[in-house]
């Protein structure tokens, strides 16, 4: 379903993409999604600072 949704979004005209984007921002600003929005923002910072685990790091931490 997600792939289908992305395909549809990519085919929209620019003005309609803007409408969808505006609607999504309204949803994300609701209290139900504030925690998720905060987690996403924190994760983006971690990724920009390259503070992430790669596959090998993950397995080393498990001592497997």
Q: In the structure, what pLDDT confidence band is assigned to residue 4 with cuts at 50, 70 and 90? A: confident
Domain count for the chain, please give it.
Answer: 1
- pLDDT of amino acid 10: 87
Q: Is the pTM of this model over 0.85?
A: no
pLDDT digits (tens, 9 = 90+) for 19-62: 998 988 888 778 777 888 888 899 899 888 888 878 888 888 78
- For 19, counting Cβ atoms within 10 Å of its Cβ (0-12 exposed, 13-18 middle, 19+ buried), the class is exposed
Q: To the nearest whole percent, how much of the chain has pLDDT over 90?
A: 17
Better-scored residue on pLDDT, 5 or 14? 14
* Residue span of the structural domain in which 58 resides: 2-62
């Amino acid at each position: 379903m997600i792939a289908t949704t992305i395909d549809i979004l990519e085919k929209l005209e620019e003005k309609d993409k803007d409408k969808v984007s505006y609607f999504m921002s309204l949803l994300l600003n609701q209290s139900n999604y504030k925690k998720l929005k905060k987690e996403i923002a924190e994760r983006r910072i971690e990724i920009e600072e390259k503070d992430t685990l790669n596959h090998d790091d993950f397995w080393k931490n498990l001592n497997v």
